[in-house]
Amino acid sequence: MRSFRPGVTGTFGILTAGGDCPGLNAAIRGVCRAALSRYNMKVIGIADGFRGLIENDTRELRPRDFSGILTRGGTILGTSREKPFSRGSLAYKDNDIGQDKVAAIKKNYHKLGLDCLVILGGNGTHTTGYRLTWEGLNILGLPKTIDNDIMGTEMSFGFSSALGIATDAIDRLHSTAQSHSRVMVIELMGNKAGWLALYAGVAGGGDVILIPEIPYDIKSIARHLEERAEDGKDFSIVVVAEGALSIEEAQMDKKDRKKFRAESGAPSIAYRLAKEIEEETGRETRATVLGYVQRGGIPCATDRILATSLGTAAAELLAKGEYGRMVALVGNEIGSVDLSVPAEKVRTVPQDHYMIDTALSVGTCFGD
């Protein structure tokens, strides 16, 4: 039943799904402030991603909800990795809806009187959103992830803040590596795409950058480190994306790769790599896994600008009734693409990307 306010032009739901990141609240603020003040719409906040819509864990948001959140990290709505089209999700095992999550979403979407569902998320979220359009729901997406691996947009919000955090961490490792004449391996997030490791590696002056897109040979890395030592540089920084692969791993299927990693006994690639480097070069090597620090804290100015711009652009599409799209940075303009563009895809680093050539030009090794 729609609650009527004079002149309310429409009602939309908004949710944040997948990994959190700085900039989510700035984006929520951008969409909602524009939609409420400029287009006189009504907004329903949905808790914890798609779980909240499955269980109707929702509430109407008011202007006061968007005060003071521009600079807040995380998401005021909460998030989850609930995947409505996959079975056996952990997100809501106790409720009585059973496994038909999509039916529950459709039921609650209509029960709430939504004209559109606005989703803030990464690849998985936009894949779910695209599939919901085939179920008759109106969807609008905003690209969010520190991985920057969403097809259709030059940049996702969250990336710039994580880039700053990672670069600061690499800067700090330089001083301790130099003091101890050590090789320092730092592992950054980025399972399927190496954007964060590539950009932070260049920004932080990494001597070796390892990304999933370029399988590495430990002997090539060792040779590069030895050459540096022969030039009198007796410390090095190795920046590795959590999804980077050795040449051997790249030839394995998923099952064998998982087995290989379990047998290595290392909790993640940084530790395995540090051990291999020490064995190959005899140089003292230490590992740092930056982990969730990259997703925490307040958004940087670039992310605030991008998130607010994408949010207000989404409000404009809402007002026009232009659904089935993801707002995006297209070239250097704020635009939008069909939801089919990011769905089921990952935007990986092209081998001929200019940033790879830039890194090579300053003598960076990619392990190949």
Q: Looking at the annotation, which residues are catalytic?
A: 147
Shorter beta-carbon distance to ligand F6P: residue 61 or 155? 155
Contact 310, 327 (CB under 8 A): yes
Q: Which residues bind ligand F6P (CB under 6 A)?
A: 18-19, 81, 122, 145-147, 189-191, 242, 295
Q: How far is the CB of 108 from ligand F6P (least distance, A)?
A: 24
Contact 43, 32 (CB under 8 A): yes
Cβ neighbours for 103, distance < 8 A, ≥ 6 positions apart? none
Shorter beta-carbon distance to ligand F6P: residue 147 or 213? 147
Shorter beta-carbon distance to ligand F6P: residue 146 or 337? 146
Burial track 316-325 (b if 16+ CB lie within 10 A, e otherwise): bbbbeeebbb
Q: How far is the CB of 48 from ligand F6P (least distance, A)?
A: 13
Locate all alpha helices (DSSP H) within the chain, ordered by sequence: 24-33, 50-54, 101-111, 123-133, 159-180, 195-203, 218-230, 247-250, 254-264, 269-281, 301-320, 354-361
What sign results for the dihedral spanned by CA atoms 25, 31, 37, 41?
negative
Q: How far is the CB of 166 from ligand F6P (least distance, A)?
A: 11
Q: How far is the CB of 79 from ligand F6P (least distance, A)?
A: 9
Shorter beta-carbon distance to ligand F6P: residue 82 or 242? 242
Q: Find the distance separating the first CA and the last CA of the chain, reported in whole Å.
A: 61
Give CA torsion, residues 29, 338, 47, 80, to 10 deg: -120
Shorter beta-carbon distance to ligand F6P: residue 196 or 218? 196
- Across-strand partners of 120? 16, 142
Q: How far is the CB of 170 from ligand F6P (least distance, A)?
A: 17
